[in-house]
Amino acid sequence: MSGGILVSFSVDADALRASELPLPLRIATHRRLLDCWQRYGVLVLFGPSLEESAVFSALTDLPQALRKRWQELLKRGRRRVASPRNGDPSRVESLAELAPLARGVELFCFDEVRAHVLGVPEDAFSIALDDGAVEICRFDCADQAEAFRRAERLGEREIEAQSLVANVWSERFAPLLEHSRTLTVVDRYALKGLVDRPDGQSGLRRLLTEIDAGDRARQLTLFSASQVDYSHSALLGAIDDRVKACRRGGLREVKLYLSDDRSFGRIAHYRYLRFDQTLCQLDVGLDVLAGREVYRTCTFRLTSLSDVVRSEETALRESAQLFVFTPR
């Protein structure tokens, strides 16, 4: 298993259609998997396109309440379409047939019958194949699969002091960046850190550099605060210079909402880095990405965007001045 913060998983279309369970239990089973997907998953679909995949076709057989939730997550959730040339998990009858599909997939969720045929014992949630890179589980036990449980543990594990920042980025943040379109930072001291670091290795600089190196242009929204001992011109000049130095094409623009320090402290209750709908709560904020090693232990918690967070970001916008920066 890769050990990263996200799990690439595939769902057997027949498992979606299965209706042996009473409706309340069926709904609960789907909800558990969908919650795992929303927090830690990347759904891999097999077919020429989303609309031509077996999973998409199977949605018509779901009860309306389930169908709506699946459709919502297929629209905004993390997903990718795999090449259809190697086959379809819904037609697999042996491990030999599964092998060509396993590239880039950590977890396969099968219906009861197919899971048994592929070797999942009746008293087990899942099995790992010989090389340990792929896991096969029962659809109704997907939330108990080791891949999701490992991602959950990592999503709640603090980042230890002296960890290499490069490793922290690749394990916890890079997968989220890959599957995100927009990023949002709420960090009272992010601009202060950009000015203070004499070596230029602030957390904000590291984040901008990583975004700029991405495979497509993304937007960063930054909520931060002015500081008593720092002029507006120093703070704004520092970020303007840094954004203008981003020339690799991955950073489209930075929207800075700059509040006064007192207003910011009254509204924002914690510091975080948000990738689309996924929040990484960080008690030291972007300082966790500063320098070569993490300077002190940082609490880390992966959560989903909530109405409370939306309200706080709205309040921060209303209390702030907006500045927009673009690369040259």
What dihedral do alpha carbons 84, 90, 95, 101 form, nearest 10°? 20
Average pLDDT value for residue range 47-60 = 91
* pLDDT averaged over every residue in the chain: 93
The H-or-E segment that residue 186 falls in is strand 182-186
The CATH class of 156-325 is alpha beta
Question: How sure is the predictor about 4, in pLDDT bands with cuts at 50, 70 and 90?
Answer: confident
- Tens digits of per-residue pLDDT, 146-175? 999 999 999 999 999 999 999 999 999 999
Q: Write the DSSP string, 43-71.
A: EEEESSSSTTSHHHHHGGGS-HHHHHHHH
* pTM of the full structure: 0.91
Q: Report the C-alpha gap between 50 and 74 in whole angstroms.
A: 8
Whole-number pLDDT of residue 3: 58
C-alpha distances in Å from residue 26, one per residue of 10, 21, 43, 193, 271: 18, 6, 20, 50, 38
Whole-number pLDDT of residue 84: 63
Do the beta carbons of residue 263 and residue 223 sit within 8 Å? no
Buried/exposed 267-298: b ≥16 CB within 10 Å, e otherwise: bbeebbbbbbbbbbbbbbbbbbbbeeebeeeb
Q: Is it the case that residue 67 has pLDDT exceeding 80?
A: yes
Q: Report the C-alpha gap between 71 and 123 in whole angstroms.
A: 32
Residue tagged 């491990």 (tokens): 95
Average pLDDT value for residue range 25-32 = 93
What dihedral do alpha carbons 211, 214, 216, 221 form, nearest 10°? -10
Question: How sure is the predictor about 185, in pLDDT bands with cuts at 50, 70 and 90?
Answer: very high
Whole-number pLDDT of residue 251: 97
- Tens digits of per-residue pLDDT, 255-300? 999 999 999 999 998 999 999 999 999 999 999 999 999 999 999 9
Q: Is it the case that residue 81 has pLDDT exceeding 80?
A: yes
Nearest Cα neighbor of 287 from 192, 213, 209, 218 is 192
* CATH fold for domain 7-152: Rossmann fold (3.40.50)
Ordered by start, the domain boundaries in the chain are: 7-152, 156-325
Sign of CA dihedral 110, 113, 119, 122: positive
Choice among 15-19, 83-87, 230-234 with the minimum mean pLDDT? 83-87
Q: Is it the case that residue 118 has pLDDT exceeding 80?
A: yes
149: left (phi over 0), alpha (psi -120 to 50) or beta: alpha
Nearest Cα neighbor of 177 from 126, 212, 134 is 212
> What is the percent of the chain with per-residue pLDDT over 70, rounded to a whole number?
98
Q: Report the C-alpha gap between 201 and 204 in whole angstroms.
A: 8
Q: Is it the case that residue 1 has pLDDT exceeding 70?
A: no
φ, ψ of residue 294 in degrees (nearest 5): -65, 125
> What is the percent of the chain with per-residue pLDDT over 90, rounded to a whole number?
79
Q: Report the C-alpha gap between 316 and 272 in whole angstroms.
A: 14
Whole-number pLDDT of residue 86: 62
Q: Report the C-alpha gap between 4 and 73 in whole angstroms.
A: 21
Whole-number pLDDT of residue 48: 87
Average pLDDT value for residue range 84-102 = 82
